[in-house]
Homo-oligomer: A and B are copies of this chain.
Amino acid sequence: MLDEIRTADAQKNSCPIRDVLDRIGDQWSLLVLATLDPGVKRFSQLEREIGDISKQMLSKTLRRLEQDGFVAREVHAEVPPRVEYRLTALGRSFLEPMRGLIRWAEANQAAIVAARRGAR
């Protein structure tokens, strides 16, 4: 299965994993998805909860996640404006396998830190 990542035609196009991970593997996407997991959130709420993300990147990240069908965006025509974001079914289903990775990260962070410390 892993070999699909590295086959010849995997380069550039039509490799699902590279494609998906290029969207998801950036600094912020996963964080935004996880923050949306509990439920609907507004823009500024995401900004506050994530804390160290810039408006620009939050905006860009949300836009891409929306484009790829992970989140839904709902604008309420009020003043001041209110924009709500929520996970789609696709977004929620994505977090499922992610939990396995998160469990691994929790279990193995110590080992990584140790390796990092050990390798001088």
Contacts and interface: CB of A to CB of B under 8 A. Distances in A.
Interface of A: 1-6, 8, 11-12, 16-27, 30-31, 34-35, 37-38, 49-52, 66-69, 90, 93-106, 108-109, 111-112, 114-116, 118-119
Contacts of A49: 6
Contacts of A102: 1-2, 4-5, 16-17
B30 A105 contact: no
- Tell me how many chains of this kind the complex includes: 2
A102 to B, nearest CB: 5
Contacts of A97: 97, 100-101, 103-104
B111 A90 contact: yes
A18 to B, nearest CB: 7
Contacts of A6: 31, 34-35, 49-50
